[in-house]
Structure 1
Amino acid sequence: MIRENKLYDELQVGDTASLKRVCTANDLYVFAHASGNLNPLHLPNDEHDNLEAVAPSMWIGALFSSVLGNILPGPGTLYRAQTLSFLDRAHVGDELNIEVTVKEKKPDNIVLLDTRVTGRGGDRIAEGMAEVLAPVRKVRIEDTDMPELLVQQHQHFDKLLDRAEALEPLITAVAAPEEENSLGGAMLAAKHGIITPILIGNRAAIEAAARAEGEDLTGIEIIETENHGMAAAKAVELAHTGQAGAVMKGHMHTSDLLAHVVKKDGGLRTGRRLSHVFVMDVPGLDHMLIVSDAAVNIMPDLEAKVDITQNAIDMALSLGVEQPKVGVLSAIETVNPKIQSTLDAAALSKMADRGQIRGGIVDGPLAMDNAMDVEAAKTKGITSLVAGRAEVLIVPNLESGNMLAKELAFVAHAEAAGVALGASVPIILTSRSDGEKARLASCAIAALYRDWRIKGGQ
């Protein structure tokens, strides 16, 4: 659309222009960054329903410039003054009408305009008078899309936490929570009612970590062990005997814990291979993204990838995805006998068609672009229920999966929750670099998965 401004001589008293704008949560976050106004009434969060978040009055006032600068008088207009009266409040979700009307033309190119914003039911929210300098030369501009702003929110995880907090706390054996981060993650999940932790390890180190974190361990069961190996063995024993419904890694190497998980006698083996699942909340993506396997299976063969894929589908189902769309990744989207990952991907896709992998729609090989972007898939002529819409990504090997997950976390600012599946209980694997929300989300997805299994999930 081409917009043309109006010069001083072209303006008539009574000329009117308007725009409509829906107030969004992102508008409030962006305004908070720009203004520095961190009033919690203006910041949608867990304590204030987004539909009731109050738009800052000065954000409302700023909307007048959109009409003045774009339509009337249009491009080239400069503000001289603005009076404002705020008569009501706008909220996230409200559609606002911003209107300006020429009231008076004064000497020296000065124009006065009535300004008003109306909202729910036509009620006036703000009104005032703008004094502007009309444009001095004719300008025609084409409407262009502004670059999108990435607002770093993790609303998908917020919903998972709400669901997990509604469940009975998951009794969780925490192996060696002997420093602040590992203990803090377990205690934070306990405060949210997601888990009931049993702390296993060196009591003195656990209590020292609690003092450093300001945590009160009153009422928390602590089981003393001599070393990390014994802590891992005890945590697995509690799960093996049904005294715990999950195992959580504390301040120890993942391999030391998993060695006890997969041991033949007294371990947590099932008929399925153990694999790691990252559940990622990526800002700007309208659904959660699952990446597997990025932490356990180094160079999985086809048989291992069947279990990796099934574990990832099961996780998606437990999180409420009705029929997960699974993209099996490779460097290219065509089958090439020289690239083993393309052969594996094609086999996994056909196995899903034959019911050997259940619960999801599996397609591959897909490259990352046409797995995630519909236009990229169309450009390459790929017609698929998965291409461009993948909710689960199965990677060729641990290296590629680990790099993908960390790129999403550190470049795209995703939060990543991680568990290992394929054992008789979920294994919560957190990293020292995880933030609070990631630690909470890891416990939440373990609780939701465990609940799904108990209620009949395969």
Structure 2
Amino acid sequence: MDSPTAATTPTVQADIARHKKYQRLIAAAHQAGPPPTAVAHPCDLSALEGAVDAARLGLIAPILVGPEARIRAVADQAGLDIGTLPIIDTPHSVASAQRAVELVREGKAEALMKGSLHTDELMGAVVKADTGLRTARRLSHCFVMDIPGHDDPLIITDAAVNIAPTLAEKVDIVQNAIDLALILGFGEVRVAILSAVETVNPKIPSTIEAAALCKMAERGQITGAILDGPLALDNAISPQAATIKHLTSPVAGHANVILVPDLEAGNMLAKSLTFLAGADAAGIVLGARVPIILTSRADSVPARLASCAVAALIARHRRTLSAKAVG
């Protein structure tokens, strides 16, 4: 089998090489095999190039869903070879989202990828009661962050879907993140439930919810991880800060999953790491029938590819579970 970077351009190879954590993800996904992926409305260079780069790496097998003439025009202008990729012609972005979701429901796609349409258009098709992709689990978003100087990937949730989640909704959000961490091979999953302080304060609702989530984990209502909270960001990820505050839990100073209080906090944390600390943020939506790859035009090449790699690993995990259920 070719190496993960064998079919990529020198620029893409160099970008991947600088991100060892993502490099490991991409290598693992390359071995998993590319899941058929419905790419909704890839009608600008960033969206189309991201799908083509991921296909070259063997991370996904794209099915391009959108106005065929526009897709081909973008490819021609940029010199992208899409000759072997299937294209399903649709008239506009809303139709592209609907048809991409239909491909999943028909069993023709194992993942869904956002193109150049608005996130609300894609997610609107996903959450439709009768024709969408919802499950019993609440939809939530995870950033898988590759942070310079930080030894392991860091998952941040939820910074893109749930605006002000309730305690009940946070149960699903944190369980989605734990399940993802286990699929990605984190080993021991250590969840820090973030607030501004590390003590329970009735005046700060996020500290009360953090304490409740930890008790729920103790009672088996949340599984697969060690939870601790409330924790402030410094003593969640810095061993030195945790020691100074006399925090001795397995999570304090060593968290690899961060549950934020709300979307605003999560979005600012992820973007601060990206634009001030040089981190990359792979994005995935969980809780639907298939993983949903959310990318942005501001994403780096490694982040876009890592998002596809995460989806490929989730798809392989689900195939394995389905095979075991049938067997």
TM-score of the aligned structures, taking structure 2 as reference length:
0.92
| Counterparts of 1:448 and 1:304, CA distance in 2 | 25
User: Structure 2 matches for 1:56-455, cutoff 5 A?
Assistant: 153-455=18-320
Separation in 1, partners of 2:213, 2:119 = 28
Q: 3-state SS of the aligned residue for 1:300?
A: coil
Matched positions, count? 310
Give the CA deviation at 1:456.
Answer: 3.0
- 2:78, 2:259 → 1: CA distance? 38
Q: Larger Rg: 1 or 2? A: 1
- One-letter amino acid matched to 1:168: G
Distance in 2 between the 1:261 and 1:226 partners?
A: 19
Please state how far the C-alpha of 1:212 moved relative to its aligned partner. Answer: 2.3
- Matched residues in 2 for 1:227 and 1:456: separation? 36
1:46 CA drift (Å): 6.7
In 1: Cα distance, 2:110 partner to 2:212 partner: 34
CA distance in 2, matches of 1:205, 1:297: 33
Which amino acid is the alignment partner of residue 144 of structure 2? V
Q: CA deviation at 1:455?
A: 2.1
2:316 corresponds to which letter in structure 1? Answer: D
- The secondary structure found in structure 1 opposite 2:32 is coil
Deviation at 1:154, TM superposition (A): 1.4
2:39/2:113 contact within 8 Å kept = yes
What CA distance in whole angstroms lies between the structure 1 residues aligned with 2:226 and 2:314?
A: 20
- Is contact 1:324–1:360 with CA below 8 Å preserved after alignment? yes
The residue aligned with 1:12 is none
In 1, are the aligned partners of 2:217 and 2:223 still within 8 Å (CA)? yes
| Partner SS state of residue 277, structure 2 | coil
- What amino acid does structure 2 have at the position aligned with 1:373? S
Tell me the distance in 2 between the aligned counterparts of 1:179 and 1:438.
Answer: 18
Find the aligned partners of 1:454 and 1:314 in 2 and give their Cα distance: 15
**Structure 1 stretches of 4+ moved >6 Å:** none
How far apart are residue 303 of structure 1 and its match?
0.7
Whole-Å Cα distance in 2 between the matches of residues 417 and 161 of structure 1?
12
Aligned equivalents of 1:356, 1:300: Cα separation in 2? 18
Over residues 110-130 of structure 1, what are the superposed CA-to-partner deviations in whole Å (9 max), with x where a residue is unaligned?
Answer: xxxxxxxxxxxxxxxxxxxxx
| In 2: Cα distance, 1:241 partner to 1:212 partner | 33
1:456 and 1:388 mapped to 2: Cα distance?
Answer: 34
> CA–CA distance in 1 between the matches of 2:130 and 2:35?
25
Q: What is the one-letter code of the residue matched to 1:213?
A: A
| Separation in structure 1 between the aligned mates of residue 150 and residue 189 of structure 2, nearest angstrom | 16
Letter in 2 for 1:358: T
Following the alignment from structure 2 to structure 1, what is the Cα–Cα distance between the partners of residues 228 and 105? 36
> Match for 1:413: what amino acid?
G
Residue 454 of structure 1: CA displacement?
2.5
Distance 1:455 1:337 in 2: 45
Mapping of 1:4-19 within 5 angstroms?
none
Instruction: Point out the structure with the larger strand share.
Output: 1
Does structure 1 conserve the Cα–Cα contact (< 8 Å) formed by 2:5 and 2:57? no
Distance 2:158 2:78 in 1: 33
Question: Which runs of no fewer than 5 residues in structure 1 stay unpaired?
Answer: 1-44, 48-151
Question: Secondary structure of the equivalent of 2:321?
Answer: coil
- Bigger helix share: 2
Q: Who is 2:11 aligned against?
A: none
Unaligned runs of 5+ in 2: 7-16
SS in structure 2 of the partner of residue 327 of structure 1: strand
Deviation per CA, 1:151-201: give whole Å up to 9, x if none.
x93100001111111122110000000010000000000000111100011
The one-character-per-residue Cα deviations of 1:346-382 (angstroms, maximum 9, x if unpaired) are 1111111111111111110000000001111111111
Hey, what's the Cα distance between the residues in 1 that align with 2:5 and 2:66? 34
TM-score by length of 1: 0.66
For residue 188 of structure 1, what is the amino acid of its counterpart? D
The one-letter code matched in structure 1 to 2:153 is M
Larger RCO, structure (CA 8 Å, separation 6 or more): 2
One-letter code of the match for 2:189?
P
1 CA distance for matches of 2:196 and 2:153? Answer: 23
State the one-letter code of the partner of 2:57.
Answer: H
**Residue in structure 1 matched with residue 9 of structure 2 by the alignment:** none
